[in-house]
Amino acid sequence: MRIALVNDMPLVVALLRRVVESVPGYKVAWVALDGDEAVRQASADKPDVILMDLIMPVMDGAEATRRIMAKSACAILIVTASVRTNHAKVYEALGAGGLDAVRTPSLGSNNSIVGAEPLLARLAKFAELRKHTGTTGLTHLFPSLGPATSGASPMLAIGASTGGPDAVAKVLAGLGGTPGPIVVVQHLGAAFAPGFADWLGARIGLPTQVVRTGDRLEAGRVYVAASDDHLVVTNRRNLAYTPDPKEYPYRPSVDVFFQSARLHWPDGGVAVLLTGMGSDGASGLLSLRRAGWHTIAQDQATSVVYGMPKAAADLGAAVEILGLPAIPAAIRAKWKAKAGT
């Protein structure tokens, strides 16, 4: 796997090179010292993955990510020294097309590298995603635990990956409220989920929280998956996490959540699959459509990466395929029709 390094600090570049080259089959494709140079290098020689710093001279990592995804799209992992200080830039970069984010490794005692494991885990996941091109039926993973609790309100279930943070925010900001709970499954490392929930809540004006096992779904609230395990809804209207399926490369998986919602949310609702690399969510969206949910996939023109919604369109999983600006109105119209007003 060819990996490019974008960072203006020679010491960090050297550390990242050591981390990358510690794995057989990984090699450094090129190095850029600022975002502008990265855009030019990516156009001339597209790597498999770019490790992108955020705070750099000339052009920051968020803007570089946006330009690379527009001209020469590839997997971009945001590598930042401080999540707390840079959290707004982190989610800006993820909204522009970054796949995930991780803290920058540092130099420890005896010239050892501290904090390389999360970075290597993300790179291994990207390598696996490159091989995973099909969709997977997951219905067998959720045997019914008995009758679902009655009296539920319609759920809005949203799945997203590459470019998802900004797309999710735009959809939810356009709703003007919700008659039921909203659950967001965004491909994002667990360490970054709390910051994402805070960032999202500030943009959409709705109560937003990360999911903790046992949380009861309530109307008018937004719940954000916050684990490297998979999020599921139980037959008791609670949320929980499960490590299974362990072999599934998308974590948390949109497919896994959609399938659990089909089985355990009695009032149905609306499911939306937004921009993202790969195919996660497509088979789950089809399952929801067959169960009577209203399903929507984002169109190619407004997707940062037309992977997940394309897979859904190819399966016939979406009742509607819409540009991002049209999705909030479509959701409101469905809620209005369901309410009989």
Active-site residue, 294 included? no
- Structure tokens of 281? 């969510």
Active-site residue, 43 included? no
Among residues 34, 53, 255, 280, which one is catalytic?
280
The stretches of 183-326 forming alpha helices (DSSP H) are 193-204, 254-264, 282-290, 308-315
Strands annotated E in the chain: 2-6, 27-32, 49-52, 75-80, 100-103, 106-107, 113-114, 155-160, 182-186, 208-210, 222-224, 230-233, 239-242, 269-273, 294-298, 320-322
Contact 22, 11 (CB under 8 A): no
Active-site residue, 187 included? yes
- Structure tokens of 112? 């050892």
Among residues 87, 187, 230, 264, which one is catalytic?
187
The set of residues, in sequence order, having a beta carbon less than 8 Å from that of 79 and lying 6+ positions away, is 7, 16, 51, 52, 53, 101, 102, 103, 104, 119
Among residues 60, 87, 100, 161, which one is catalytic?
161
Instruction: Tell me which residues are annotated as active site.
Output: 161, 187, 280
